[in-house]
Structure 1
Amino acid sequence: MAQLIKLQDYISRYEQDMFRYPSQFIRMKKDSFHRLREQWESEKEMPILSEPEQEEKQSLFQKIFNRKKEFNVWEEEEHRELPLPVDEHELKQLFLNQVFSFQLKWASSTLQEVSYFDQVYETDNLLKYFLQRFPDTYLLLYQPIFKMKQAVIEGDIIIVTPTDIMCVSVLDGASGTTYQPVDERKWQTIDEGQVHTVVNPLIGLKRMEKMISSILQYHELEFPIKKVVLARNQRILNQTPAYQTEYVDLLNYEEWFDAIRKTGYPIKYQQLKVSEALLEHTQKTFVKRPIWKEEEDHIL
């Protein structure tokens, strides 16, 4: 799973210590799934209980998801009954969904502060796609808001990998839509014979690239930046991408995605330095957690 280090303008754990949380997340995720799988395998072999017995004795598998101290990862999870997964694939998906919820919390709160969270992100399939299918060593900024010389700049999708920064623009046309680059300002979409004009996605990508370059220059950092136009289920015709730009469409998506999944690089120091620099220039909107506010008021 990629790590969500910034979501819009929410306060993030990673902003507190960029050099601590990435490795902590990977360790917690690995240990937690190992423990969960062991418990799942153990309970698969247990005899089927009658309904009264099931009501009387909650399985340890349920407790892992319903009690923070059992899992030592999930915070403030509500109590709910979960059916025992039928196979390891289902178990992994259940686990990934739990980690997704956990990541949203890390990306919108710290121990002392919390941001007002828009629940639309809980069902954001694009966000889930990047978090659940990309490697643990990929650090994601999703729709971040930057502050540059008093100007507010909205970003799109930025992924800091161990080797470079990817600025990604996702084309959201219907499956089978064809995109045709026209000029520097516009592209055309062709869907079931209907032709429409859309803004050239490279405009936003170039804006993000320029902004990131200025941040890196300010911090005296060097790191490659590349732009990706992603159309997983569509076609892009007449592909003549500019330098450090890649068009990924229906024809080459699997090859591109497999290369990412096979990435074996660990998290690198320069990657963390770059991520820290980017986070320093993002906007943060938050309030103190009530419990901390009460303690502060009592002390004062």
Structure 2
Amino acid sequence: MAIPVKVFDVISKYERDVLDQYNRYLEYVDSDTARLQRLHENNRLSPVEVLEIDRPWWKFWAKTERIELEPKPLSESQYQKMLRERRHIQKLQFACEGVLEADLPHLAFTRDFAYRMMRSEWNERHFFLYRPVIEWSGASVELSHIIVGPTHLYVVEWLEGDRSIYHISKEKTWIHQPLKGENTRVVNPLIALTRTEELVRQILPNYAGVLHKVVVATDGYFDNVPNVRSTHYVGRNEYTEWLKQVNGRAPIVKAQQIRDVAILLEVTGKMPFRQFMDQ
């Protein structure tokens, strides 16, 4: 699961010191995982089941009898699901300083398709900025998603649609042809990608890795794909193999990768989490 380091312009703990906070996160995960594993092995993660036996109506003086039953142990799949959910909130607590577990149901971005895909399908050697807002030339600019790997940096726009066809054009909108229903129009994702690429290259003028602009439709298809292009179009037929290559390029976290993330965070907006929630 990739690591979020910035969500919109919410203040992130990583802005203090990316390497230090990343090491703190890893140390916390290691100790927390070891503790939970011990509890799991001793069947102490499942709640105790209580059976209440009501007194007969004629024994009006008697109390209701409560019997504690041995809890059912979590299956391995249940345990792994619990770990994933726990890691998610822990990661968010670093990316959004001040977020509480109770806030999770109110965070709409956690249910966004792009967020869920980046969080769940890219490995943990990738850091991602979800729709980061940067302060540039006196203005606040919202960018495309940025994913920083050890040797590759991706600026990504996600298109959601089950077996939809997206007709590529140079216009401000593309035709979205769903499997069922009427055609609609979606904003041309290349507009945001081009703006993001230009700004990233200015923020990281000496970036030594490979920068990819990518439009992803995990369950869709692209029509009119240009023969010569600077943008990657990843559709339903290409997605699995492409993602395998992406994760294969990221076996370890590198020092320069950490430095690049730190430079990107320097120019992002700084809004307290509670203020963000009150908007």
Letter in 1 for 2:174: W
Determine whether 1:182 maps to 2:144.
Answer: no
Determine whether 1:7 maps to 2:4.
Answer: no
Determine whether 1:134 maps to 2:135.
Answer: no
What residue is the counterpart of 1:36 in the other structure? 36
Instruction: Tell me which stretches of 4 or more aligned residues in structure 1 moved more than 6 Å.
Output: none
Over alpha carbons, which structure has the higher Rg?
2
Return the TM-score normalized by structure 2.
Answer: 0.79
Question: Cα RMSD (Å) of the superposition?
Answer: 3.1
Letter in 2 for 1:85: L
Return the TM-score normalized by structure 1.
Answer: 0.74
Q: Give 3-state SS (helix, strand or coil) of 2:19's partner.
A: coil
**Equivalent residues of 2:150, 2:250 under 8 A apart:** no
Seq. identity, %: 25
What residue is the counterpart of 1:283 in the other structure? 269
Question: In the superposition, relative to structure 1, how do residues 171 and 49 fare at CA in structure 2: closer, same or farther (>3 Å)?
Answer: closer
Determine whether 1:214 maps to 2:202.
Answer: yes
**Greater Cα offset, 231-240 or 257-266:** 257-266
Distance 1:251 1:122 in 2: 26
Question: In the superposition, relative to structure 1, how do residues 122 and 221 fare at CA in structure 2: closer, same or farther (>3 Å)?
Answer: closer
Q: Which runs of 5+ in 2 are unaligned?
A: 52-65, 275-279
Provide the aligned length of Structure 1 versus Structure 2.
254
Distance 2:270 2:227 in 1: 35
Determine whether 1:235 maps to 2:201.
Answer: no
Per-residue deviation, residues 118-158 of structure 1 (Å, max 9, x unmatched): 63234445323312332111101001100011021101211
**Greater Cα offset, 148-157 or 239-248:** 239-248
Q: CA deviation at 1:234?
A: 0.8
Q: CA deviation at 1:90?
A: 2.5
1:11-160 correspondence to structure 2 within 5 Å:
11-43=11-43, 51=51, 52=66, 54=68, 84-86=73-75, 88-109=76-97, 119-160=107-148
Letter in 2 for 1:269: A
Q: Give 3-state SS (helix, strand or coil) of 2:183's partner.
A: strand
Per-residue deviation, residues 205-232 of structure 1 (Å, max 9, x unmatched): 0110001001012xx4433211110101
Question: In the superposition, relative to structure 1, how do residues 84 and 132 fare at CA in structure 2: closer, same or farther (>3 Å)?
Answer: farther
Q: Give 3-state SS (helix, strand or coil) of 1:159's partner.
A: strand
**Equivalent residues of 2:172, 2:188 under 8 A apart:** yes
**Equivalent residues of 2:151, 2:250 under 8 A apart:** no
Per-residue deviation, residues 159-210 of structure 1 (Å, max 9, x unmatched): 01111210010012x3111111123544221123633333321111011000
What residue is the counterpart of 1:170 in the other structure? 158
Q: CA deviation at 1:8?
A: 0.9
Distance 1:53 1:259 in 2: 55
Q: Give 3-state SS (helix, strand or coil) of 2:116's partner.
A: helix
Per-residue deviation, residues 67-87 of structure 1 (Å, max 9, x unmatched): xxxxxxxxxxxxxxxx8532x
